[in-house]
Amino acid sequence: MKRFMVAAAVAAGLAVPVRAQTPQYPGLVVLIAVDQMRGDYLDRFATQWTGGFKRFRDTGTFFPHGRQDHASTETAPGHSTMLSGREPGHTGIILNNRGVQDPTSPALGVPDPQGSSPRRFQGTTLYDWLLARDPQTRVLSVSRKDRGAIFPVGRGRGNVYWWLGGRFTTSRYYTDTLPKWVSEFDSHIDLAHIAGSTWNLLLPESAYQEPDSMAFENAGSDFTFPHQLPGNDVIANRITSYPVMDSLTLAFAITGVEKMRLGTRGSPDLLVVSLSTTDAVGHAYGPDSREIHDQLLHVDRWLGQFFDSLSKLVPGGMVAALTGDHGIVSLPEYAVLVKHQHAGRVGMGSFPKDVEQELEERYHVPFDLSFDNGLLSADVDALRARGVNVDSLSAALAKRIAANPGISQVFTPATLPQAPDTGAAPLWRRLLPDGYGWLAVAAMRPGYVWSSGSLGGEHGGMNAEDIEVPIAFFGAGVPVRRVDRPARTVDIGPTLAAILGVKPTEKLDGEILPEVVGSSSASR
């Protein structure tokens, strides 16, 4: 599993970049997003960090109580907040299933009926603010997931890549031809060597406090170490569920930094790396598992190698930020059987489909009802045009939703604006854009999750564990301190902008974090 990161680190160590004049600001700004990185992870395993997580937690400014401060805590909306400084209600990215999908922008070199682009994204990001000052600013954004690579950069065209069909690629939104270095990297990925290999514990078994015998993990199969990776016939797609995927992602990113000579111009460039395997492992085994513990240990070590390599490639220095796009709730089965807490899974069954069918049978047109993470969306304009009393319909549907056990609050378009600015109401207000068609929204009781019936881990129900993520910075001029007050992911973009001396080009929801930049940088 280490061979790709080790090879990249060695290659980086041999590289001799052209040294530009020392810039006024760091030569490179780096965002590391760890998909499904809960807020408590950096402290929970603190004594075992030796690499990248240790660097962020112990050598920079660390906010252990960061927040994705909105409802529907999923990958797409979460990533849209990180460098935009704006809530999902202002970026327009509110759900994964209404995110990057764009059939007019198919991926290059692999079958891709979905397509991916940022066309739904509204507004600007740090990349746009840097371009406004310096049109030569370069960007590299990399992830296993298309939405993880795309949304931190926003609508800007640049070097944005993700994993699909056994290789890293991009879509026709960005280019018609892959750069030579991307094709060469893909050609050297040895999936046959990875297929059938084994995921073993990184440390001795005594270093893990979690039991390795929870039969409800991974839907009741393959829930103990060691884990054997799939064979040649399926490894290209299923590698995404194993730690080695993050190693490949970081190796690809460091290769891109070297080939593009990021951070060597004397003016800041932007690097974004979103690591997605923690999300896959968390969904399969849950946040209390030995698997998630070991996965994070791998990420820590690989991030350490990654930053060691970056420091050799970037003569102008760097500033880096770390966060997560959302957290995750304990598996309800674990919460009940091990923690002895109230917990459960809430499924709406065929509810939205049945309501849609009733309406279509009466009016003979579709109304696009869908229920996702507590949000009941619909074509409200089409309903009103046919004389439907939308307020009455919303109230009736909200009552049906509220009857489910595990539901704590339900709001409609008529009740949400007047709801107190506490609990779930402000989270929903920060998620929903003006003019978006919806009929009802719901929040979960602590420990309960939205679920389609599987035994996997879940997020999106606005539990505290969903919302809280770490936020940390290290690099040139960043002080070493722990800050226990809450911070928000929408604060990351404006804070990095202040460090880099650029001004956002639109009104933001986030604020500069003074603990990171100090009064002098904040006033630039």
pLDDT band, very low/low/confident/very high, at 520 (cuts 50, 70, 90): very low
Distance (Å, whole) CA 400 – CA 398: 5
Residue 406's pLDDT is 93
Q: Are 430 and 71 in contact (CB under 8 A)?
A: yes
Lowest mean pLDDT, pick from 4-13, 200-209, 226-235, 447-456: 4-13
Is it the case that residue 57 has pLDDT exceeding 80? yes
Three-state helix/strand/coil letters over 240-291: HHCCHHHHHHHHHHHHHHHHHCCCCCCCCEEEEEEECHHHHHHHHHCCCCHH
Residue 22 reports pLDDT greater than 50: no
How high is the pLDDT of residue 24? 77
The predicted structure's pLDDT at residue 213? 83
In this predicted structure, the answer to whether residue 69 has a pLDDT above a threshold of 50 is: yes
Q: pLDDT band at 132, cuts 50/70/90?
A: very high
Name the amino acid, one letter, at 439. Answer: L
pLDDT, mean over the chain: 93
Closest by CA position to 512, among listed 475, 466, 469, 473? 473
End-to-end CA distance of the chain: 44
Is there a contact between 423 and 415 (Cβ–Cβ < 8 Å)? no
Contact 87, 69 (CB under 8 A): yes
**Statement: residue 151 has pLDDT above 90:** yes
pLDDT band at 349 (very low <50, low <70, confident <90, very high): confident
Same topology between domain 3-9+27-334+463-522 and domain 344-446: no
pLDDT at position 186: 98
Higher pLDDT, 190 or 455: 190
Helix (H) or strand (E) holding 52: helix 52-58
CB 493 within 8 A of CB 84: yes
Whether the pLDDT of residue 1 is over 50: the answer is no
Q: How far apart are CA 350 and CA 164, in angstroms?
A: 32
Task: Give residue 13's pLDDT band: very low, low, confident or very high (50, 70, 90).
Answer: very low
Res 453: pLDDT: 77
- Indicate the domain borders of the chain: 3-9+27-334+463-522, 344-446
Secondary structure letter of residue 482 according to DSSP: E
- What phi-psi label fits residue 171: left (phi over 0), alpha (psi between -120 and 50 degrees) or beta? beta
Residue 20 has pLDDT above 70, yes or no: no
Fold of 344-446: Gyrase A; domain 2 (3.30.1360)
The mean pLDDT of 340-344, rounded to a whole number, is: 94
Mean pLDDT of 473-493: 96
Q: Is the pLDDT of residue 14 over 50?
A: no
Arch. (CATH architecture) of 3-9+27-334+463-522 = 3-Layer(aba) Sandwich (3.40)
Q: How do residues 88-123 score in pLDDT, each as one tens digit?
A: 999 999 999 999 999 999 999 999 989 999 999 999
159/477: higher pLDDT = 159
Please give the Cα distance from 163 to 151 (Å, whole number). 15
Q: What percent of the chain has pLDDT over 90?
A: 88
Mean pLDDT of 161-185: 98
Q: Are 107 and 480 in contact (CB under 8 A)?
A: no
Structure confidence at residue 454 (pLDDT): 80
Position 462 scores a pLDDT of 87
Close Cβ partners of 381 (under 8 Å, ≥ 6 residues apart): 437
133-142 tens-digit pLDDT: 999 999 999 9
Amino acid identity, residue 367? F
Q: What is the pLDDT of residue 452?
A: 81
- Label residue 316 by pLDDT band (50, 70, 90): confident
Check pLDDT > 90 for residue 524.
no
Q: Count Cα atoms within 13 angstroms, Cβ side, for 162.
A: 25
Q: Do 359 and 390 form a contact (C-beta atoms < 8 A)?
A: no
Q: What is the structure's pLDDT at 517?
A: 92
Range in 124-128, 341-345, 492-496 with the lowest mean pLDDT: 341-345
